[in-house]
């Protein structure tokens, strides 16, 4: 089984950006935890991070026919990007949305998720563990 983990803008700044909201664990920590999950769950995990909306769309399109599941934290593009929503709908790959913070308890503009409309599940407010939960969900449902 192959899972693509996609992170949007500023997720590469984890550990530096607003630690009171996103915690002190770094992006590198997230990447190594994904590697650990891949080994322990015997699945192939590819990660991709970009600050650019079109690059995220390109990556989702390139996943067509190549991955069994997508875990995506579109970050700020969650709340603005119909292009990312349409790309996820186009490839129709099982997808789980992750937010590190509890977006429900934050500003009004974070209450809409376009990408979430194409995802079968959303995990929010679980910190970096949300990625592990999303991967395990996809493995349980779609893994061989
Ligand atoms: C986020 C929440 C978004 O509202 C924000 O723009 C982010 C990160 C999260 O993981 O909690 O950049 O997606």
pLDDT in tens, the chain (144 residues): 999 999 999 999 999 999 999 999 999 999 999 999 999 999 999 999 999 999 999 999 999 999 999 999 999 999 999 999 999 999 999 999 999 999 999 999 999 999 999 999 999 999 999 999 999 999 999 996
Q: Give backbone dihedrals phi and psi of 91, rounded to 5 degrees, phi first.
A: -80, -25
> For the chain, what's the residue count?
144
What pLDDT score was predicted for residue 94?
98
Atom of ligand 1 nearest to the CA of 98: 10
Max intra-chain CA distance, the chain: 40
Question: Ligand 1, residues 99, 110, 130: which to mutate, most atoms within 8 A of Cβ?
Answer: 99
135 CA → ligand 1 middle, Å? 18
Q: Which residues contact 79 (CB under 8 A, 6 or more apart)?
A: 109, 110, 112, 113, 114
Known catalytic residue: 131? no
Residues pairing with 73 in the sheet? 7
Distance CA 33, CA 27 (A): 10
Q: How far is CA 137 from the centre of its chain?
A: 13
What pLDDT score was predicted for residue 93?
98
Atom of ligand 1 nearest to the CA of 76: 6
What pLDDT score was predicted for residue 33?
98
Q: Give backbone dihedrals phi and psi of 64, rounded to 5 degrees, phi first.
A: -60, 125
What DSSP character marks residue 17? S
What pLDDT score was predicted for residue 109?
96
Q: Which residues contact 59 (CB under 8 A, 6 or more apart)?
A: 4, 6, 48, 50
Residues pairing with 96 in the sheet? 71, 121
Per DSSP, the three-state class of 78 is helix
């Amino acid at each position: 089984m192959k899972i693509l983990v996609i992170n949007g803008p500023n997720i590469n700044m984890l550990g530096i950006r607003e630690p009171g909201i996103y915690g002190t664990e770094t992006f590198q920590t997230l990447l190594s935890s994904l590697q650990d999950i891949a080994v322990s769950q015997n699945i192939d995990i590819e990660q991709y991070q970009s600050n650019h909306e079109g690059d995220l769309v390109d990556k989702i399109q390139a996943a067509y026919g190549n991955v069994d599941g997508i875990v995506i934290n579109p970050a700020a593009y969650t709340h603005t990007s119909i292009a990312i929503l349409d790309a996820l709908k186009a490839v129709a790959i099982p997808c789980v949305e992750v937010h590190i913070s509890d977006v429900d308890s934050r500003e009004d503009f974070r209450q809409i998720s376009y990408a979430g409309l194409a995802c079968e599940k959303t995990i929010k407010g679980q910190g970096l563990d949300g990625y592990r939960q999303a991967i395990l969900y996809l493995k349980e449902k779609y893994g061989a």
